[in-house]
């Protein structure tokens, strides 16, 4: 049995919504709990499908994990298994975040190559290269990445691309290495800062998080901690674009606006009124959005995870927009579904040109990943009639209470189960 959303078009969204902790942070924080024996407690965790999936991975490694609403407690034993098996790992990409902690804690790791969203190739070469510079040996064997290290030693490492996953695995491994590690061209995302903040509260010595150079002075041992997960900037950005697309008025709380600076700036250019506060923002759009060009880049650039929302607003904007995807090459699969909805779009390599139409046309569409699914729901809100979005389990992996929040904002959206 599969679930789908029935999305009624033509409704203006209005109201207040609060975002929970970031999906792209909580899963990595859960993995980092492997570094310390004892119970680490995480607060402000999103109630999404990926959290129990990561619990299954950690339980398979010997941990005890308790999920109580927005609180997750991970009790890590003195001896951790280095084997993250295929069944636990295959369902989502973030499971690879256990690689660095396992190498640091167990001196070996066997992590099945992960599955996840269909948004393009995401190889582990930078993860492996970074661990090798710290003294590990790595190779791919029987569908798993295998890493071993008698001893991890600090090193100077420079990434070819500011990969979030590689940065996370290198930082977690280096936290327990001998000596100093300097990581250049590191990812700068707020979720990296959140991870480093938690590691420092565990006793790590990390500086430079949020810049392109992170310095890690290895310590002998880390201790469990309590930590509040940073707000989810992608969910917050989704609500911001929902307000602009529906010519609505939405106040979003639980997020630092600086984490969405460029995305909010683009909405201003599109004609929205944007007010920012210490822990949130308000988006008001009183007319048809203006066409705006977008180019996805690592933070602080425009997030690739908000690219479907950029395509969505461009599809009904006044004028012609060009969207350029520089991070994941398969993200434009979303365009095929937008064409079903009547968008005037043409793809040329890693660019898509959109000529805004007055109204999209409702039909059946299929979500290929978390963000594409959310983007299709937003598109359905500005289509005539009822749009059916299939494969919505993807959306549930990244958006807590998505339908409930939409209904609270005035949307007509129903969850339906069928074959």
Is 66 known to sit in a ligand binding site? no
**Per-residue 3-state assignment (H helix, E strand, C coil) for 130-160:** HHHHCCCEEEEECCEEEEECCCCECCEEECC
Is 305 known to sit in a ligand binding site? yes
Is 340 known to sit in a ligand binding site? no
Main-chain dihedrals φ then ψ at residue 366, nearest 5 degrees: -125, 130
Is 221 known to sit in a ligand binding site? no
Is 93 known to sit in a ligand binding site? yes
Token pair listed for 79 = 């001896």
Q: Which secondary-structure segment (H or E) carries 286?
A: none
Radius of gyration of the chain (CA): 21
Cβ-contact 346, 339 below 8 angstroms: no
Instruction: Check whether the bond before 300 is cis (ω within 30° of 0).
Output: yes
DSSP 8-state code for residue 328:
-
Q: What's the rounded Cα separation, in Å, for the pair 58 and 140? A: 21
Q: What's the rounded Cα separation, in Å, for the pair 142 and 161? A: 27
- Can you name the residues that pair with 42 across neighbouring β-strands? 72, 227
Cβ neighbours of 418 (radius 10 Å)? 8
Choosing from 117, 197, 232, 249, the catalytic residue is: 117
The verdict on whether 178 is a catalytic residue reads: no
**Cα 2 from chain centre:** 24
Q: What's the rounded Cα separation, in Å, for the pair 162 and 167? A: 7
Q: Which of 174, 177, 171 is nearest to 189 (CA)?
A: 171
Phi-psi sector, 286: left (phi>0), alpha (psi -120 to 50), beta:
alpha
CA separation (Å) from 163 to 109, 213, 392? 21, 13, 27
- Active-site annotation, residues: 117
Q: Which residues are annotated as a binding site for UDP-N-acetyl-alpha-D-glucosamine?
A: 93, 305, 327
Q: Which residues are annotated as a binding site for phosphoenolpyruvate?
A: 23-24
């Amino acid at each position: 049995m599969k679930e789908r959303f029935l999305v009624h078009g033509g409704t203006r969204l209005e109201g207040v919504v609060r975002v929970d902790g970031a999906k792209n942070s909580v899963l990595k924080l859960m993995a980092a709990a492997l570094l310390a024996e004892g119970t680490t407690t995480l607060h402000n965790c999103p109630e999404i499908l990926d959290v129990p999936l990561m619990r299954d991975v950690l339980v398979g490694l010997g941990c005890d994990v308790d999920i109580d609403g927005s609180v997750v407690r991970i009790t890590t034993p003195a001896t951790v298994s280095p084997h993250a098996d295929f069944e636990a790992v295959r369902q989502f990409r973030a499971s690879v975040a256990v690689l660095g902690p396992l190498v640091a804690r167990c001196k070996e790791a066997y992590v099945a190559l992960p599955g996840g969203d269909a948004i393009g190739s995401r190889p582990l070469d930078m993860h492996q290269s970074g661990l090798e510079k710290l003294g590990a040996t790595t190779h791919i064997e029987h569908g798993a990445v295998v890493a071993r290290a008698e001893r991890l030693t600090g090193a100077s490492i420079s990434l070819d691309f500011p990969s979030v996953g590689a940065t996370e695995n290198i930082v977690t491994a280096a936290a327990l290495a001998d000596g100093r590690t300097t990581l250049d061209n590191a990812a700068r995302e707020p979720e990296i800062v959140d991870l480093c903040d938690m590691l420092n509260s565990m006793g790590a010595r990390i500086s430079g998080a949020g810049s392109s150079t992170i310095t890690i002075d290895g310590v002998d041992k880390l201790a469990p901690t309590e930590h509040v997960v940073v707000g989810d900037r992608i969910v917050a950005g989704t609500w911001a674009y929902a307000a602009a697309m529906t010519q609505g008025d939405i106040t979003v709380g639980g997020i630092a606006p600086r984490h969405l600076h460029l995305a909010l700036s683009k909405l201003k250019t599109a004609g929205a009124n944007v007010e920012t506060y210490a822990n949130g923002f308000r988006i008001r759009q009183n007319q048809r959005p203006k066409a705006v060009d977008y180019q996805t880049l690592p933070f602080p650039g425009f997030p690739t995870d908000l690219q479907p929302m950029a395509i969505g607003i461009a599809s009904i904007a006044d004028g012609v927009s060009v969207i350029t995807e520089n991070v994941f090459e398969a993200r434009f699969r979303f365009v095929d579904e937008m064409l079903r909805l009547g968008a005037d779009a043409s793809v040329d390599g890693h660019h898509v040109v959109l000529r805004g139409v007055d109204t999209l046309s409702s039909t059946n569409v299929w979500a290929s990943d978390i963000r594409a699914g959310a983007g299709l729901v937003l598109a359905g809100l500005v289509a005539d009639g009822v749009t059916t979005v299939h494969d919505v389990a993807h959306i549930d992996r990244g958006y807590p209470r998505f339908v409930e929040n939409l209904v609270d904002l005035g949307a007509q959206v129903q969850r339906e189960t069928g074959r």
